[in-house]
């Protein structure tokens, strides 16, 4: 079990800073793409009220919401939280790396870096404490994830089927369908994940 999956941080950029960046960038991209709140709501499958709260810095959006909004605007989550690559080289300080998920027992997911949308790559670092899990309803069509378990044993669930990835081992998964990451062991686990999402 995990707490509500909101942007949360125990280190790196603080929640208010991240939420402010998210608010400003969603408004910027929506303006550039000439999308009304109603249109974005329809495309993303997110209520207009939630979008108003996010743009007004009154909401703490989950990873799932950010993925839906980013996909609807053909940008990446990294674009929205401002860790997307700039031309040539974009150095990201440790203090600027956002923690976008925090489990109830202290686990975390950090979006280390990413490319600009619409075709995008994201690099994530996850830590999960015993019993923690994160579930997703699925990303846009043809999304692929590469996973490497640095420490412990990760259970990856795709379409209801569990796959065990041991320490030092890797996996490639199609995640345009329901999937989840679970720590079913008694020890903390760490894994690195790269997400590739093609533009529609």
- For position 63, which CATH number holds? 2.60.120.10
Q: Identify the domain containing residue 129 by its residue range.
A: 1-200
Q: Prior bond to 118 cis, omega within 30?
A: yes
Note the Cα 85 to chain centre separation in Å: 16
CA dihedral 7, 36, 72, 179 (to 10 degrees): 50
Total domains present in the chain: 1
CA angle 186, 188, 190 (to 5 degrees): 140
Can you give the pLDDT at residue 103? 94
What DSSP element (H or E) covers 154? strand 154-158
Q: Is the model more confident about 145 or about 67? A: 145
Can you give the pLDDT at residue 12? 46
Can you give the pLDDT at residue 4? 35
Task: State the Cα–Cα distance between residues 157 and 197, nearest whole angstrom.
Answer: 19
pTM of the predicted protein model: 0.73
CA quadruple 52, 57, 78, 179: dihedral sign:
negative
């Amino acid at each position: 079990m995990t707490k509500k999956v909101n942007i949360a941080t125990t280190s790196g950029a603080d929640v208010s800073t991240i939420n402010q960046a998210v608010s400003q960038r969603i408004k910027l991209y929506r303006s550039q793409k000439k999308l009304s709140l109603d249109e974005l709501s329809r495309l993303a499958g997110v209520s207009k009220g939630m979008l108003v709260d996010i743009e007004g810095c009154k909401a703490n959006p989950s990873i799932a919401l950010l993925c839906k909004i980013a996909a609807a605007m053909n940008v990446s989550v990294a674009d929205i939280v401002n860790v997307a690559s700039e031309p040539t080289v974009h150095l990201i300080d440790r203090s600027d790396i956002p923690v976008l998920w925090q489990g109830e027992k202290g686990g975390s997911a950090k979006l280390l870096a990413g490319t600009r949308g619409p075709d995008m790559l994201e690099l994530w670092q996850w830590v999960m404490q015993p019993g923690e899990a994160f579930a997703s309803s699925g990303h846009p069509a043809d999304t692929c994830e590469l996973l490497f378990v640095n420490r412990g044993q990760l259970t990856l669930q795709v379409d209801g089927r569990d796959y065990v990835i041991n320490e030092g081992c890797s996996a490639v998964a199609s995640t345009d369908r329901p999937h989840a990451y679970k720590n079913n062991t008694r020890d903390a686990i760490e894994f690195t994940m790269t997400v590739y999402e093609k533009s529609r």
